[in-house]
Amino acid sequence: MPFISPLLCSLFGEKQTVSITQDTRTHKIYGKEKAIEQFNCSYGLNEAYRELLKDGDLRIAGVDHQNEVRIVEFPDHRFFIATLYMPQLSSTPESPHPLIVSFLKAAQSFQAIREDIVFVL
């Protein structure tokens, strides 16, 4: 049974309000509980797996107005946030999307850590 399955209706080109779960990394990044995002997809979480997520490491971090999952994250990973919307569609050089900025900061931090590692052969 697939974890990701076709949505009942396509979200291609739609804008929706996403409610962001408090106490998640995503909430800290956005600094708010709601965001309007543009979707470009026809697939989503298979609802048969939703209950299993409650006890696992992958956490639901955001839902739409019908309480369907739109954001998931691994809280203990340096940066693992998956969305059904495309942050790059609303990002500009003058006003970059908060998820993109946060991803770039995480990549910089990871690179700095890697540069501090000395490999001994």
Fold of 4-86: Rossmann fold (3.40.50)
Domain ranges of the chain: 4-86
Taking only the tens of pLDDT, the chain with its 121 residues reads 888 888 877 787 889 999 999 999 999 999 999 999 999 888 899 988 998 888 889 999 999 998 999 999 999 998 999 999 999 999 999 999 999 999 999 999 888 887 776 555 4
Specify the amino acid at residue 95: S
> What pLDDT, on the 0 to 100 scale, is given for residue 56?
85
| H-run or E-run covering 6 | strand 4-6
> What pLDDT, on the 0 to 100 scale, is given for residue 101?
96
Q: Output the CA torsion 12→30→73→56 (10° steps).
A: -120
> What pLDDT, on the 0 to 100 scale, is given for residue 31?
97
For residues 110 and 106, what is the distance between their CA atoms, to the nearest angstrom?
6
For residues 42 and 121, what is the distance between their CA atoms, to the nearest angstrom?
49
How distant, in Å, are the alpha carbons of 31, 32, 38, 105, 115 from that of 18?
13, 11, 10, 23, 37
> What pLDDT, on the 0 to 100 scale, is given for residue 35?
97
